[in-house]
């Protein structure tokens, strides 16, 4: 069985990256087919079900990717169900797939032909859909019959991690803050000039395993030491407690992006003759002259152009 997770609506890239990481923690088999859509294995089904419940995502289990995707679009947010196929899914869910480029008129045409479910649609051949919908029909048929290879092992995007290990167990705020500042200094040296959109702070036990962690998605990309330290200290305060013992801490910067490219002006823009003339008119209009084209096709100089002055009427028109 293949799991499909779909998250519709406005979703930042950093929040989607956090969802992908949590799915990857449950299974190593994962494919991100686009922003807000992924396919994964079912190694830790209970963890995946809890993730779907907490994120209120659309999800479904099915034997193949297309069936899982269509069933997820037709499912209930926050609920994970298994399906044998997608034959009973209404054909109206196709309108929610951007790459198919279908609209309400196409859905109405399908209903007029008695095609109300995906099962009815799968009985048609490509030539039938191409006659009715043109290239969109061919694209729809290709989408429904396409086959995919097995899910590969997921390779997560790069992140910057820095850890600080204590010789003895610690719980004093001053010691923890000093270690946090050391971690921030190390990650900043690797971060510049990239931007960080997600910060994670974890508590390490004696075996260097994570026993507690907090994360934060930033509204703006951070790239300075002070900004990273402010957010990291906020996470540190959330993790501190009277009974929590620290053998170490780990600071992780994720959802890294390159800064936006800004086009610079390489050459100074020089003023044209018209710009200079317009600037001089208020002061030297009485002596300034201009060439007015009379007939551009004439070969006689007197008929081709004449020299005129900048009158008040001409200045008003310009």
- CATH code: domain of residue 199: 3.30.1490.100
Convert the pLDDT of each residue in 9-48 to its tens digit. Answer: 878 899 999 999 999 999 999 999 989 999 999 999 999 9
Indicate whether 312 pLDDT > 70.
no
Count of domains observed in the chain: 3
- Pair 90, 204 in one domain: no
Q: Give this prediction's pTM.
A: 0.74
Convert the pLDDT of each residue in 45-90 to its tens digit. Answer: 999 999 999 999 999 999 999 999 999 999 999 999 999 999 999 9
Q: Averaged over 155-177, what is the pLDDT?
A: 91
- Pair 109, 243 in one domain: no
Question: Long-range contacts made by residues 222-230, C-beta under 8 angstroms, separation at least 24?
Answer: 222/195, 222/196, 222/197, 223/191, 223/192, 223/193, 223/194, 223/195, 223/196, 223/259, 224/188, 225/184, 225/185, 225/188, 228/184, 228/187, 228/188, 228/191, 228/196, 228/199, 228/253, 229/180, 229/181, 229/184
Domain contains 58: yes
pLDDT of residue 251: 95
Domain that holds residue 12: 2-145
List the one residue out of 148, 154, 147, 150 whose CA is nearest residue 29.
154
Q: Averaged over 299-313, what is the pLDDT?
A: 77
Indicate whether 6 pLDDT > 90.
yes
Confidence of residue 101 (pLDDT cuts 50, 70, 90): confident
Domain contains 152: no
Cα 61 from Cα 85, distance rounded (Å): 9
pLDDT of residue 5: 94
Domain contains 263: no
Q: Averaged over 305-315, what is the pLDDT?
A: 67
Cα 42 from Cα 213, distance rounded (Å): 24
Indicate whether 187 pLDDT > 80.
yes
Domain contains 155: no
- Pair 223, 277 in one domain: no
Indicate whether 137 pLDDT > 60.
yes
- Pair 278, 185 in one domain: no
- Pair 249, 302 in one domain: no
Domain boundary among 95, 113, 145: 145
- Pair 10, 126 in one domain: yes
pLDDT of residue 282: 82
Asked, as a colleague might, if the bond just before 193 is cis with ω within 30 of 0, I would say yes
């Amino acid at each position: 069985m293949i799991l499909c997770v779909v998250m519709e609506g406005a979703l930042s890239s950093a929040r989607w990256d956090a969802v992908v990481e949590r799915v990857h923690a449950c299974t190593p088999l994962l494919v991100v087919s686009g922003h807000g859509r992924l396919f994964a294995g079912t190694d830790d089904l209970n963890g995946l079900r809890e993730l779907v419940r907490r994120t209120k995502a659309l999800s479904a289990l099915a034997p193949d990717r297309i069936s899982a995707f269509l069933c997820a679009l037709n499912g209930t947010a926050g609920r994970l169900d298994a399906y044998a196929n997608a034959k009973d899914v209404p054909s109206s869910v196709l309108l929610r797939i951007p790459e198919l480029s279908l609209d309400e008129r196409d859905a109405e045409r399908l209903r007029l032909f008695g095609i109300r479910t995906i099962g009815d649609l799968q009985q048609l051949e490509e030539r039938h859909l191409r006659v009715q919908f043109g290239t969109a029909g061919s694209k729809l048929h290709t989408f429904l019959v396409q086959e995919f290879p097995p899910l590969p092992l997921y390779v997560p995007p790069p992140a910057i991690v820095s850890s600080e290990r204590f010789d003895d167990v610690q719980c004093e705020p001053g010691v923890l803050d000093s270690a946090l500042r050391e971690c921030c200094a190390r990650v900043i040296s690797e971060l510049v000039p990239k931007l960080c959109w997600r910060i994670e702070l974890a508590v390490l036990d004696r075996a260097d395993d994570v026993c507690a962690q907090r994360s934060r998605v930033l509204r703006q990309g951070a790239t300075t030491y002070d900004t990273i330290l402010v957010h990291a200290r906020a996470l540190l305060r959330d993790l501190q407690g009277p009974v929590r013992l620290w053998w170490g801490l780990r600071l992780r910067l994720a959802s890294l992006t390159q800064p936006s490219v800004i086009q610079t002006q390489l050459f100074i823009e020089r003023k044209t003759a018209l710009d200079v003339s317009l600037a001089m008119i208020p002061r030297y209009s009485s002596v300034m002259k201009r060439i007015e084209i009379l007939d551009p096709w004439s070969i006689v100089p007197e008929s081709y152009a004449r020299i005129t002055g900048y009158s008040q009427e001409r200045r008003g028109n310009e």
